A and B are shown apart, each in its own frame.
Chain A
Amino acid sequence: MQSKQTDRSRKNYSLWLSAWKRLKKSRMAMFGLALFAIICLGAIFADVIAPYPYDFQNLDETFQFPNANHWFGTDSVGRDIFSRILYGGRVSLQIGLVSVLISVTLGGSLGAIAGFYGGKTDNLIMRTLDILLAIPAILLAITIVTALGPGMFNLMLAIGVSSVPSFARIVRASILSVKEQEFVEAARLSGCNDAHIIFSHLVPNIMAPIIVQITLSMALAILSASSLSFIGLGIQPPIPEWGAMLSAGRAYIRNYSHIVLFPGLAIMATILSLNLLGDGLRDALDPRLKN
């Protein structure tokens, strides 16, 4: 039994290794990874890199076009847009990560329970999630944010909850496809309890589709957050969030389009990097889908 276990984890390890090798071969994915790394570094070291604090105003230097002092120009109250983009990356990435964690945890557990136990439990959970799935995600998120009030955590919660059903479905489907395999049967015979089976045996085996989904969902979450901010339901000022920067800048778009251009490009670059990475990961982790 013991040796079988080690054997399997070694197999798992080599699976990840070969996936990484495949990933490395994909230029697109590596480009995505590099881009994402740059964005993350910019966000993490914003304190060091950014030439100004994100809320430093200079009412005498408003609406400056990009120049040597302000690489991306300044906004309507004279704040440095470059600095705000860097700090904004923190906020956007945080939102993306936390809201996806919320949906992974909630959706993942619901999906795992549904898939593992099947029958009535499965039916109850999945039918309940069908209700959430039937409501357009953006409208559901708007409704939840309106109900909870604005603020960063509420925003994450709203976005997280609205993508719970898709995670639950994926996890459930993956669990169903592995739960009948022999190593699960073996664990069950050896007297492991359900939780142990789910977390030690099933979860590691369904990580591939979940990782892919996490990457792509993060992109989606960042996009959703910026959409909500755009209609004024997002982050509290003066904290910079890319969508909120877009929203605040859109009144000036006719003449000072740089105010809107750079946050837009930042969102685009982040989502593009995550999509490229997610795509690459899907091909690398699931050789069957690789063509």
Chain B
Amino acid sequence: MKRKLGLLFVVLAVVLSFSVLALAKQDTLIVAVDREPSSMNPHGSNDAGTSFVTNLMYEGLVTFDSDMNLVPELATRWEQIDDTTIRFYLRDNVYFHNGEHFTAKDVKYTFELTSKSPFTASTLGMIDAEATTIIDDYTVDIVLKYPFGPAINHLGHSTAAIVNQKAMEEGGENYDDNPVGTGPFVLKKWNSGDSIELTTSDNYWGEKPAYKTLVLRYIPEATTRAIEVETGGVDIARAISANDAINLGDNPNVNVISSNILNTSYLSYNCSKPPFDNVKVRQAISSAINADAVVRNVTFGLGERANSVMAPSIFGYVPSEEPYGYNVERAKSLLAEAGYADGFKTTLVVNAVNASTSAEIIQNMLAQIGIEVEILAYDFNNWLDTIVNGRQDMYIGGWTTVTGDADYALRNSFHTNNKGTGGNRSYYSNPEVDALLEQAAVEMNQGIRAELYKKVQEVLAEEAVYVNLQIGQVHLAAGKHVKGLVAHPNQNIDLWTVYFE
């Protein structure tokens, strides 16, 4: 009898500890991420790894929903006072993690900081922090240095997140140990190179997450991230490979969510260098490349081919008619017209990590029209250095339009003034395009802006500046018990909406 009782106790204990474990599991969300942040300060870096984490801890005046529409966040509404002034009405019930009340003062302070940060000059450089005025605690006029059509979009970017003066000053050099925002999560510990532990904030004004602890584990290998989801080591894995996305899709215990992001890849040239300064050569190459086949191969059929120089969810996007789609015969005759009937030798610079396979397929396709391509697969550092300084013949590049607006996509990449260092790595120069882009940047009527960008995209397609490849894609994998997971085109995940079932 005694023995039986003992056994019962053991069984009870085991059951109990299991259920405790199960409960504990419910309280923690573990996410495998592919990139580490460089900073816990939203203005301390502009990379995607940082944005992913600061998005969980901080908020901006406005933000984007998962369809890239601007929605209120810390501001309840806003109005355009004149061409260079936007008035924001702020929430009055928001507190920072350190207990400080959020007011217009924090907004002004934030933009004073961003005006000095090298990481925000291109996104927030148009804000005149000095002239920005606090009307009252919950009203602020943000003043721009010049009229700028997509200004509000730029305020939705993660680098425009609002910080607290007291926390910044107290933190000083060690701010990253104790970052303070208004968002749903508070940093508990950053185990550099390994993981980041966050807890839910007691001060969060919105609906609190359904769990207490969030752990972001940094796992560099895509295959390993997928395996961790499959074996239950993590709840969610970010950025698994297309191949794993397909195969995990067959697994009944795993959900895979694939979504397009604000990035496109493309093949382009140094357009200031012969023979690529000849539009016929570019048109011939465009015609010789079966871009659909390239995209199908590298994305395992999951990806979509881009039909503009920017991604579809960006304001101003218009799909082009593809005047120089795949047609080898036309490619040959165009090349002959350009005076290269026998083809030529050239090089193709790619970032080895993400474009080697595309390059190899393209190399084969161009061989068919007599263009002999030598691939130079560089590490990121060398690749960037090469294309920034115009040492490439051809290159494969990518562009992420973080603001979701055509100005950031097109003016940086195609305006003559931005050649090389500014973002125009194709060294493309066309006065017509320059004029259209300048006009669109200062235009306040969004309808007219859209028209102007349409024209720009048509010219670029006719001039065959890019051979558009795939629209960027991110595949998330999550255990079946994970609900409420929404992928975002800006590559962040609003993890506070996640719950378990």
A residues near B (Cβ < 8 Å) are 55, 57, 59, 62, 76-77, 146, 149-150, 232-233, 236-238, 248, 250-255
Contacts and interface: CB of A to CB of B under 8 A. Distances in A.
29 contacts: A55-B363, A57-B360, A57-B364, A62-B297, A77-B297, A77-B357, A146-B379, A146-B382, A149-B382, A150-B352, A150-B379, A150-B382, A232-B379, A233-B352, A236-B374, A236-B375, A237-B360, A237-B375, A238-B360, A238-B375, A250-B221, A250-B223, A251-B241, A251-B243, A251-B244, A254-B223, A254-B227, A255-B243, A255-B247
Q: For B241, B364, B375, which residue has the most chain A Cβ atoms within 10 angstroms?
A: B364
A62 B247 CA distance: 16
Q: Which 6 A-B pairs have the closest CB atoms?
A: A232-B352, A238-B360, A251-B241, A237-B356, A57-B364, A237-B360
B243 A252 contact: yes
A149 B378 CA distance: 7
A253 B297 CA distance: 17
Contact of B223 (A77, A232, A248, A251): A251
Contacts of A149: 378, 382
Contact of A233 (B223, B226, B356, B379): B379
Contact of B363 (A76, A150, A238): A238
Contacts of B174: none
Contact of A254 (B243, B360, B374, B379): B243
Interface string B340-361: 0000000000001100110111
B356 A248 contact: yes
B376 interface: yes
A77 B374 CA distance: 18
A57 B374 CA distance: 16
B168 interface: no
Contacts of B486: none
A146 B364 CA distance: 28
Given A254-B226, A255-B247, A146 B381 contact: yes
Main SS of chain B's interface residues? Answer: helix
Interface in B282-321: 293, 296-297
Nearest to A253: B223
Contacts of A253: 223
Nearest to B350: A237
B459 interface: no
Given A59-B293, A149-B378, A238-B363, A232 B353 contact: yes
A76 B297 contact: yes
Contacts of A252: 241, 243
A138 B280 CA distance: 47
Nearest to B226: A254
Nearest to A238: B360
Contacts of A238: 360, 363, 375
A253 B244 CA distance: 9
Nearest to B351: A232
A233 B381 CA distance: 12
B384 interface: no
A283 to B, nearest CB: 41
B377 A150 contact: yes
Contacts of A57: 360-361, 364
Contacts of A62: 297
B227 A236 contact: no
Nearest to B230: A254
Given A55-B363, A232-B377, A248-B356, 13 more contacts: A57-B364, A62-B297, A77-B360, A146-B382, A149-B378, A150-B376, A236-B376, A237-B356, A237-B359, A237-B377, A251-B223, A254-B247, A255-B247
